[in-house]
Amino acid sequence: MTEAREFRLSDALLDRLARARSVLVLTGAGMSAESGIPTFRDAQTGIWSKFRPEELATPEAFAADPDRVWRWYEARRKTVREAQPHAGYLALVELEALVGELNVVTQNVDGLHQRAGSHRVWELHGNILRSKCHLSLRPIGREWIEESPQTPPPSPYVPEGLARPDVVWFGEALPTAAVEAAVEAASRCDFCFSIGTSSLVQPAASLPLYALERGAPLVEINPEHTPLSAQADQCIRGMASEVLVTVVSQLQAAKRENR
């Protein structure tokens, strides 16, 4: 494994990427950090440096104090609505045109990959801008939410139901279609990037292992060491935006040379 001092892919890995027919990109909160959305576990700025996860991101927390949890998510929704995808997101859109197929599997709930223009995006932990009934789990439209004076707004479907964010809390099952697509993409890929994730939360953290089992090279982009680092073929210790712009430029140059 190589710990790159600069933000470039090694020549051997660049060659594998240039020949890849299916690329998997797994992203976590670090991908959105440079767009101004706090990560979860970073010591100084992470959301959970101020709150304990079990107080806010669990069904039990919502049952105990729905108003508190709803208000916390309202504040985070505001941040997400104001955020813009950074250059790394745009680099991933460019990457789509350079490889056979690109699947972006994200743990993020902010929708920035889709807003940047990536086409094949699988959201493992839902989307913070959507809401659903906490009992029937049926989707609730933004208009209903905005017109309600209550926090949380009541469910339009079930008398005792409340609106809750359409995200996946600890102990909850991930959306089946997204998990199936993600496992399938990981098992099929011939190159894998893990970007800006602590690689701690399951089942997302296991996806790169499926890629490794298949023999795909794994590149981690993260300024910090993670439990996945030891298994990566290369760890690029930089910020997602700068590294992705560099890697995609490298690939574009390599493709021009081979024309």
Measured from the CB of residue 37, what is the shortest distance to ligand BJW in angstroms?
10
List the x/- string, 124-163, binding to ligand BJW by CB under 6 A: -x--x-----------------------------------
The count of residues interacting with ligand BJW (CB under 6 A) is 36
Contact predicate 196/240, CB 8 Å? yes
> Helix (H, G, I), strand (E, B), or coil: what is residue 166?
strand
Question: Nearest residue to ligand BJW, using CB?
Answer: 30
Q: Which of 63, 137, 200, 253 binds ligand BJW (CB under 6 A)?
A: 200
Among the residue ranges 145-153, 171-179, 227-235, 249-257, the one whose residues contact ligand BJW (CB under 6 A): 171-179
Known catalytic membership, residue 86: no
Q: Give CA–CA dist 88/82, Å, rounded.
A: 18
Q: Give CA–CA dist 95/191, Å, rounded.
A: 12
The answer for residues whose C-beta is within 8 angstroms of residue 180's C-beta and 6 or more apart is none
Measured from the CB of residue 21, what is the shortest distance to ligand BJW in angstroms?
26
> Helix (H, G, I), strand (E, B), or coil: what is residue 200?
coil
C-alpha closest to that of 34 among 221, 201, 204, 232: 221
**How many helices (DSSP H) and strands (DSSP E) are in the chain?**
11, 10
Q: Which of 61, 102, 104, 168 binds ligand BJW (CB under 6 A)?
A: 168
Residues 66 to 85: which contact ligand BJW by CB under 6 A?
A: none
List the x/- string, 223-252, binding to ligand BJW by CB under 6 A: xx-x------------xx------------
Bridge partners of residue 122, in order along the sequence:
105
Tokens of 163: 């609106």
Contact predicate 196/28, CB 8 Å? yes
Measured from the CB of residue 53, what is the shortest distance to ligand BJW in angstroms?
6
Contact residues: ligand BJW, CB under 6 A: 28-30, 33-34, 39-42, 46, 57, 107, 109, 125, 128, 167-173, 196-198, 200-203, 221-224, 226, 239-240
